Amino acid sequence: MPKSKPPRSRYRPLRHVNKVTDRAMTIYDKLEEVTEKLHRQIAPFLDQIPARERTLMLTLLADNRAQIAGGRADIFQPSATPVLDEILRQDAERQRAAAKR
């Protein structure tokens, strides 16, 4: 009898870029631009700002950048629930087909 083949590992590609993903990336890009602009605007005045407030502002800017980077990474991370995603996709297709009738 032939030996059975081992199961193939399923390749899970990165999420497909659609309108929602594209809009989210646009929002993250704009947030990054605003953060950079704010940093450039306050840079000449950093020596006039009290140390405690300066530290707080720079920490806030760094936290904003970290959250923006984390949001971008979440968008392109493979789905943790591929079965649920497929069920939701099929349901949305059924609803679109029913609406066309």
| Cα(46)–Cα(87) distance, integer angstroms | 53
* Mean predicted confidence (pLDDT) in 22-37: 91
Contact 87, 25 (CB under 8 A): no
Q: How distant, in Å, are the alpha carbons of 27, 40, 49 from that of 34?
A: 11, 10, 20
| pLDDT given for residue 11 in this prediction | 65
CA 37 to chain CA centroid, Å, is 21
Confidence of residue 51 (pLDDT cuts 50, 70, 90): very high
Q: Are 99 and 59 in contact (CB under 8 A)?
A: no
pTM (2 d.p.): 0.58
Q: Average of pLDDT values for 64-75?
A: 90
Per-residue pLDDT, averaged over 14-24, amounts to 73
